[in-house]
Amino acid sequence: MSSDVSFDITVDGRPVPVVTGQTIGAALHAAGVRSWRTTRFGGRQRGLFCGIGVCFDCLISVNGREPERACLLEASPGDEVTTA
């Protein structure tokens, strides 16, 4: 597959375009989404921070699984993402 082939994933019920090979975090960032969860204490917004899987700021749930880091998880056609 060519890297310019794209598809959509669903994030909290809305479509987000993805380029093949892109992580979910990169797709969200490209779509202008900079934060998608808040901290337990203080309610501070979180999204991509380190981009390499060291922190836990970009946690999402994909297809009902346990939370994973969006910066490391390659998007797949049909993915349904839920943010916290």
CA 46 to chain centre: 12
pLDDT of amino acid 44: 93
Q: Does domain 6-82 have CATH number 3.10.20.440?
A: yes
Helix and strand element counts for the chain (H, E): 1, 7
* Domain spans, the chain: 6-82
Q: What are the structure tokens assigned to 42, written together?
A: 């203080």
Residue with tokens 């892109």, as numbered in its chain: 22
pLDDT tens sequence for the chain (84 residues) = 455 769 999 999 999 999 999 999 999 999 999 999 998 899 999 999 999 999 999 999 999 999 999 999 999 999 999 996
pLDDT of amino acid 1: 45
As a whole number of angstroms, the distance between CA 37 and CA 82 comes to 10
pTM for the structure as a whole? 0.89
